[in-house]
């Protein structure tokens, strides 16, 4: 009797757990369709509508091959690894993080769903995270690391000085025959898997599966691994990282609003620098967008500034431009970063040096349609080496927390259409007067 009871109780628990897992997966599926499918494709094959433009190619998630793992080469990532990459995003790519935009439990749901896209998670080899026990840094370790760097041929791809210009680097290609860039170690933002010594150690020991970056775990002792990690870390010069996604932009409450690009009143609005990331294969320039915002009643003004050496103001071809993307309804879920979605549509205010202001609404990639909106105005000015553009939006009910994202086009660097620079979602936050 007793046994029978236990079995029933147990299968009840199991059923409940399975049911819980299924609801997680279906919650994850909805979030995936909203935030990820535009690049990774409806079925995870890496073939979403934006994938044609995006460099590097969005991962085919059905294959079960992952770069950013804590586990040995050839094994699957842990749930924590997937969670980290989805939460933090992948630096130097337009996959922005989603922490602070989705809740922790929503990100868990995405992880559960991602794992259903590939049969590898049923049959493939689970990996145990490798040990990461930092040795204290020392000049001796760094010089041992330098020696190993050349002995192991890191320089053949990464170059003598870690600039990404080794002789083998030029011919590296992905499966679509597109070039694989080896980025310079001099800039912290080039480290997709993180730029701390522990991150670098992990990358060297695990390798980035699916890329030419191999695992060196079989060849190195722990001490040699740390020596290399500290050496590579010593090459990082630029450690400044402008805000990448999810930051707060304080909106100043002012009695009189600055309406022109060069108005002294702008001095009373706080300045924030947001990282700009190209969607496609071109140099990251400019690095950041400078944003200020002020509000009076229901009128919001936004000033945007970015470096641009050449003014391109064509009415037909490639011209300099900028857009502000806002949700149509601030009370809905944060929209897809790529033109919203049916549940959370967006409004886009686009100022173009050639064509001036256009306002669009959209509820998904490729659904942008022009609307007439007399509440929006914009003016831009080119000051020899930079653009200053001001938007004003009337009749806005700015709740305390309004999602916003930006895009910039530099005509002479080849930006056009989806080839652009963009930010992740950030938030306008009103200051109390
Ligand atoms: C703008 C396009 C884009 C969007 C949107 C996007 N990704 Fe990605 N994703 C990429 C790119 C590009 C890579 C590959 C980077 C690389 O290989 O260096 C990638 C890689 C990944 C990987 C594999 C990481 C690894 O270890 O190899 C996972 C998992 C992933 N994305 C999940 C997601 C999830 C979940 C979402 C939605 C919340 C999402 N991505 C949204 C572009 C995107
Ligand atoms: C066959 C060429 C090749 C060799 C040899 C090689 N790498 Fe790499 N490495 C790459 C490529 C390609 C990438 C970028 C992969 C990507 O972005 O998907 C990379 C990326 C990296 C990264 C940056 C990871 C990140 O977070 O973006 C580090 C650190 C690194 N390699 C260290 C080393 C060290 C140390 C050695 C020698 C022990 C080495 N590599 C040998 C090709 C190579």
Please, are residues 225 and 204 in contact by the beta-carbon 8 Å criterion?
yes
Q: Which domain holds residue 332?
A: 248-430
- 203 and 71, same structural domain? no
59 CA to centre of ligand 1 in angstroms? 6
Which among 199, 234, 269 is the end of a domain? 234
From the CA atom positions of the chain, what is the Rg in Å?
Answer: 24
Measured CA to CA, the distance from residue 379 to residue 259 in angstroms comes to 9
Q: First-to-last CA distance in the chain?
A: 70
Which of 31, 33, 36, 365 has most ligand 1 atoms within 8 Å of its beta carbon, as the pocket-test mutant?
36
- 264 and 173, same structural domain? no
Q: Say if 364 falls within a structural domain.
A: yes
What are the phi and psi torsion angles at 385 (to 5°)?
-130, 5
Cα 56 to Cα 131, 159, 335, 403, distances in angstroms:
29, 21, 24, 26
Which of 72, 82, 95 has most ligand 1 atoms within 8 Å of its beta carbon, as the pocket-test mutant?
95
Q: Does the C-beta of 101 come closer than 6 Å to ligand 1?
A: no
Q: Say if 210 falls within a structural domain.
A: yes
**DSSP assignment of 354-404:** TTEEEEEEESSTT--EEE--TTEEEEEEE-SSEEEEEEEE-S----SEEEE
190 CA to centre of ligand 1 in angstroms? 16
Q: Does the C-beta of 56 come closer than 6 Å to ligand 1?
A: yes
Q: Say if 134 falls within a structural domain.
A: no
Q: Does the C-beta of 213 come closer than 6 Å to ligand 1?
A: no
Residue 3's pLDDT is 54
Q: Say if 133 falls within a structural domain.
A: no
Q: Does the C-beta of 162 come closer than 6 Å to ligand 1?
A: no
Nearest residue to 232 (alpha-carbon basis) of 141, 115, 358: 141
Nearest ligand to the C-alpha atom of residue 89:
1
- 223 and 334, same structural domain? no
- 388 and 256, same structural domain? yes
Q: Which regions in the chain score pLDDT beneath 50?
A: 1-2
Residue 270's pLDDT is 95
Q: Say if 162 falls within a structural domain.
A: yes
- 354 and 280, same structural domain? yes
- List Cβ neighbours of 37 (8 Å cut-off, separation of 6 or more): 48
Q: Does the C-beta of 82 come closer than 6 Å to ligand 1?
A: yes
Nearest residue to 51 (alpha-carbon basis) of 4, 102, 6, 95: 95
Question: How many domains are there within the chain?
Answer: 3
SS3 262: coil
Burial class (CB in 10 A: 0-12, 13-18, 19+), 351: buried
Which of 46, 92, 150, 157 has most ligand 2 atoms within 8 Å of its beta carbon, as the pocket-test mutant?
157
Which among 174, 204, 234 is the end of a domain? 234
Measured CA to CA, the distance from residue 257 to residue 281 in angstroms comes to 39
Q: Say if 376 falls within a structural domain.
A: yes
- 292 and 170, same structural domain? no
SS3 255: coil
Q: For residue 75, what is the domain's CATH number?
A: 1.10.760.10
**Segments in 115-242 forming alpha helices (H):** 120-123, 139-151, 154-158, 197-206, 222-234
Nearest ligand to the C-alpha atom of residue 69:
1
Measured CA to CA, the distance from residue 242 to residue 275 in angstroms comes to 5
Which among 122, 149, 168 is the end of a domain? 122
- 262 and 170, same structural domain? no
40 CA to centre of ligand 1 in angstroms? 7
- 82 and 15, same structural domain? yes
Tokens of 273: 């620098």
- 69 and 213, same structural domain? no
Q: For residue 406, what is the domain's CATH number?
A: 2.60.40.1190
The pTM of the full predicted model, rounded to 2 decimals, is 0.94
- Ligand 2 atom 37: residue of nearest CA: 154
Which of 172, 213, 221, 230 has most ligand 2 atoms within 8 Å of its beta carbon, as the pocket-test mutant?
213
Burial class (CB in 10 A: 0-12, 13-18, 19+), 93: middle
235 CA to centre of ligand 2 in angstroms? 14
Q: Which residues pair with 148 in a beta bridge?
A: none
Nearest residue to 39 (alpha-carbon basis) of 18, 24, 61, 17: 61
- 199 and 254, same structural domain? no
Cis previous bond, 54, omega within 30 = no
Residue 1's pLDDT is 43
Residue ranges around ligand 2 (CB below 6 Å)? 67, 152-154, 156-158, 168, 172, 180, 182, 191-193, 200, 203-204, 208, 211-213, 216, 228, 232
- 400 and 370, same structural domain? yes
- List Cβ neighbours of 74 (8 Å cut-off, separation of 6 or more): 125, 209
Q: Say if 131 falls within a structural domain.
A: no
Q: Does the C-beta of 38 come closer than 6 Å to ligand 1?
A: yes
Tokens of 258: 């600055």
Q: Say if 359 falls within a structural domain.
A: yes
20 CA to centre of ligand 1 in angstroms? 26
Residue 174's pLDDT is 78
Residue 305's pLDDT is 98
Nearest ligand to the C-alpha atom of residue 83:
1
Please, are residues 322 and 408 in contact by the beta-carbon 8 Å criterion?
yes
Please, are residues 408 and 290 in contact by the beta-carbon 8 Å criterion?
no
Q: Does the C-beta of 91 come closer than 6 Å to ligand 1?
A: no
- 280 and 179, same structural domain? no
Q: What is the distance, to the nearest Å, from the Cα of residue 354 to the centroid of all Cα atoms in its chain? A: 29
- Ligand 2 atom 34: residue of nearest CA: 154
Residue 10's pLDDT is 63
């Amino acid at each position: 009797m007793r046994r029978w009871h236990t079995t029933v109780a147990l299968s009840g628990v199991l059923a409940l757990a399975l049911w819980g897992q299924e609801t997680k997966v279906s919650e994850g599926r909805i979030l995936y369709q909203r935030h990820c499918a535009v690049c990774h494709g409806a079925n995870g094959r890496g073939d979403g509508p934006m994938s044609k433009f995006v460099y590097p190619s969005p991962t085919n998630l059905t294959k079960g091959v992952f770069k950013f793992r804590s586990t040995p080469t050839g094994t699957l990532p842990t749930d924590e690894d997937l969670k980290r990459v989805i939460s933090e995003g992948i630096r130097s790519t337009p996959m922005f993080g989603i922490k602070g935009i989705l809740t922790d439990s929503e990100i868990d749901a995405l992880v559960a769903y991602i794992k259903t896209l590939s049969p590898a998670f049923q049959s493939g080899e689970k990996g145990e995270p490798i040990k990461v026990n930092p040795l204290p840094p020392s000049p001796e370790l760094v010089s041992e690391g330098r020696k190993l760097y050349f002995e192991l041929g890191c320089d053949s791809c990464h170059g003598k000085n870690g600039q990404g210009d080794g002789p083998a680097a030029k011919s590296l290609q992905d499966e679509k025959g597109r070039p694989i860039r080896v980025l310079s170690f001099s800039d912290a933002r080039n480290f997709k898997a993180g730029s701390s010594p522990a991150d670098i150690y992990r990358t060297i020991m695990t390798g980035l599966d699916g890329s030419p970056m191999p695992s060196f775990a079989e060849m190195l002792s722990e001490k040699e691994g740390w020596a290399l990690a500290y050496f590579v870390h010593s090459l990082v010069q630029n450690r400044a990282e402008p805000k990448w996604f999810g930051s707060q932009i304080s909106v100043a409450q002012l009695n009189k609003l600055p309406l022109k690009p060069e108005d002294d009143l702008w001095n009373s609005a706080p300045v924030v620098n947001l990282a700009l990331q190209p969607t496609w294969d071109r140099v990251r320039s400019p690095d950041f967008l400078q944003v200020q915002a002020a509000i009076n009643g229901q009128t919001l003004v936004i000033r945007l500034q970015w470096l641009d050496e050449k003014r391109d103001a064509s009415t037909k071809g490639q011209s300099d431009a900028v857009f502000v993307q806002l949700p149509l309804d601030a009370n809905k879920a944060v929209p897809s970063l790529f033109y919203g979605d049916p549940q959370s549509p967006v409004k886009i205010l686009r100022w173009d040096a050639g064509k001036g202001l256009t306002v669009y609404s959209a509820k998904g990639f490729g659904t942008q349609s022009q609307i007439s909106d007399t509440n929006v105005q914009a003016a831009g000015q080119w000051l020899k080496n930079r653009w200053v553009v001001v938007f004003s939006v009337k009749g806005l009910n700015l709740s305390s927390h309004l999602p916003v994202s930006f895009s910039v086009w530099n005509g002479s660097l080849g930006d056009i259409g989806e080839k652009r620079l963009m930010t992740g979602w950030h938030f306008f936050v009103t200051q109390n007067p």
